[in-house]
Chain A
Amino acid sequence: DAKTTQPPSMDCAEGRAANLPCNHSTISGNEYVYWYRQIHSQGPQYIIHGLKNNETNEMASLIITEDRKSSTLILPHATLRDTAVYYCIVSPKGGSSNTGKLIFGQGTTLQVKP
């Protein structure tokens, strides 16, 4: 079972920031928070990951709470092309039990509207 809880859907206006929350209250000390997204009919795309510090790259920012029990993915200026299902995954590096296994939940369907 997935170790994360995400809202099933969210809307965001084009050009505004999209803030996608994720709860992972049972996260272990060696587990990272990964975010992937899946645009319709494509494979999941890696966005960002972090352990306990906030992270930023060209796609997004990841804010992890101090207790690491929740995180927020921020798309600073959402575009229509950001419409996708966003998955929050907690996993040790190398996947669960070092097997490479990523456990996907249901994700959040983000709809960016004009």
Chain B
Amino acid sequence: DAGVTQSPTHLIKTRGQHVTLRCSPISGHKSVSWYQQVLGQGPQFIFQYYEKEERGRGNFPDRFSARQFPNYSSELNVNALLLGDSALYLCASSWWAMTPGSYYGYTFGSGTRLTVV
């Protein structure tokens, strides 16, 4: 089975531009989470989507948005890019249900390396 796939793998954008990052979860996984990892830091939570609804949002400005499609793939959009948005953007998928006792394992993709110049 394919793991979590993210595209593109690398991207260079100019300040002020807009970017769209894409993620395909593992087959059968209905939850997708997005993380930002700045060099030298641990990943920081941005969003989680489950069944196309936003279930959680981290401390990120409104320039960051996301959505999940009927096939459970997801897009992360960032508007008005700043130099500080340069980071590795990670997507994680999970078989996730609000059922006590269910196993929650998160599988991460290899990420999209975004450089803002």
Contact = CB atoms under 8 A, between A and B. Distances in A.
Contacts of B98: 94, 98
Given A101-B45, A105-B42, A106-B41, A44 B55 contact: no
A25 interface: no
Interface residues of B, number: 32
Interface in B59-117: 90, 92, 94, 96, 98, 100-111
30 contacts: A2-B42, A42-B110, A43-B90, A43-B109, A44-B108, A45-B108, A46-B105, A46-B106, A87-B42, A93-B100, A93-B102, A94-B96, A94-B98, A95-B48, A97-B56, A99-B48, A99-B56, A100-B45, A100-B48, A100-B96, A100-B106, A101-B48, A101-B56, A102-B33, A102-B43, A102-B45, A103-B45, A104-B42, A106-B42, A107-B42
Nearest to B111: A43
Main secondary structure of the interface of A (DSSP, over half): loop
Interface of A: 2, 41-46, 87, 93-107
Contacts of B45: 100-103
Contacts, number: 69
A44 B90 CA distance: 9
Contacts of A96: 56
A94 B55 CA distance: 11
Given A99-B55, A99-B56, A101-B58, A43 B42 contact: no
A93 B109 CA distance: 20
A43 B4 contact: yes
B24 interface: no
A102 B48 CA distance: 10
A45 to B, nearest CB: 7
Nearest to A97: B56
Contacts of A107: 42
A43 B9 CA distance: 12
A107 B101 CA distance: 27
